Structure 1
Amino acid sequence: MDRIKEKMNQLRLEADESSAKVEELKAKVKTLEQENLQKDQEITSLAHKNNLLEDEVAKLETQISDLKKSADEGLQHGSQNEALTRRLQLLEEEAEEADKTLREANEKLRQTDVKAGHFERKVQALETERDTWESKYEEMAAKYAKVQKELEEFQIEIGNI
């Protein structure tokens, strides 16, 4: 009788541990979903920033083209030509910086996609683990019911003796 009670207590402890693990996994899934949402928002933000930078690059390229034409027309004006050349250099540097920023944003976007994929795989693994724990819990509940039934039959037999 004590062994059965001990076994029942052990099964209850295992069931409680399984429930705690399920709750913990649900919390982890929720956290990962929130992180995934944040990453999606960051991707949207970076995509918008990327579009703005592309527009800026197009504007800067147009400005560079215009400045080169002006420089060709103004060769006779030495001082103006030097000023325009300096301005052209600054614009080219800005264009290079904008291009560099664009490449960095694209790289961050790619890394975010990789991380999002990683977290999705992690969520799937956690869901699989949760399903395993749930099936183990159901098996243990079935075993408990079977043992309970056997105990009742045993008590009836003892009562008949």
Structure 2
Amino acid sequence: MERVKEKLSALRTEADVATQRAEEAEDELKKISRELTAKEQDNISLQNKISLLEAEVERAEKKISDAKLAKEEEENTKNTSEGLLRKVALLENELDNTEKNLRETTEKLRQTDVKAEHFERKVQQLEAEKADLEKKLDEITEEYNKTKQNLEDTLKSFDDL
């Protein structure tokens, strides 16, 4: 009987551990979902920034061409042109970095989705294991009760003799 109690306790402990792991997996999934939402908002922000930067690049290129056409302001045009070209290069670098970050974020999102699917499968597997263990516990309890009844009947028959 003590062994059954120990096994029952162990099964309960395992079930508690499985439940805790499932809850942790759900918490992790929620955390990942929040991070995904934040990353999507970052993506939208970065896309808007890209649009603004592209518009700014177009304006800068127009300024450069206008400056080249104005001969009397040739020296100013040269300085402005160099400054604008540096700014364009910086903007292109920033655009490249933004695109790189977008690719990395997309990859992280894909990996997060894979992890979430893995945890969902693990939760399902643990739930199935829990159901099997509960079924086995019921069978063992029933067998124990039958054995106990047989023992009591045998002891009673010995007492009657």
- Short-chain TM bin: 0.7 to 0.9
After superposing the two structures, state which structure 1 stretch, 91-100 or 62-71, moved more: 62-71
User: Percent of counterpart pairs with the same letter?
Assistant: 31
Stretches of structure 2 lacking an aligned partner (at least 5 in a row) = 70-76
**Which of 40, 43, 47 pairs up with 1:50?**
43
Aligned to 2:60: 67
Please list, as runs of the form range in 1=range in 2, the aligned pairs for 1:1-161 lying within 5 A after superposition. Answer: 8-76=1-69, 77-161=77-161
Give 1:141 deviation, angstroms.
Answer: 0.9
Contact 1:18 1:133 in 2 (8 A): yes
Runs of 4+ in 1 over 4 A off after TM superposition: none
Distance in 2 (CA, whole Å) between partners of 1:157 and 1:151 is 10
TM-score (norm 2): 0.87
Aligned to 2:74: none
- Per the alignment, in what secondary structure is the counterpart of residue 68 of structure 2? coil
Q: Deviations over 1:30-67 (max 9, x none)?
A: 21111111111111111111111111111111111222
Q: Report the AA paired with residue 52 of structure 1.
A: S
Superposition RMSD on alpha carbons, in Å? 1.5
Stretches of structure 1 lacking an aligned partner (at least 5 in a row) = 1-7
Question: Alignment length, in residue pairs?
Answer: 154
Contact 1:50 1:106 in 2 (8 A): no
Q: Report the AA paired with residue 59 of structure 1.
A: L
Q: Report the AA paired with residue 114 of structure 2.
A: V
Give 1:139 deviation, angstroms.
Answer: 1.0
Instruction: Report 1 or 2 for greater relative contact order, CA contacts < 8 Å, sequence distance ≥ 6.
Output: 1
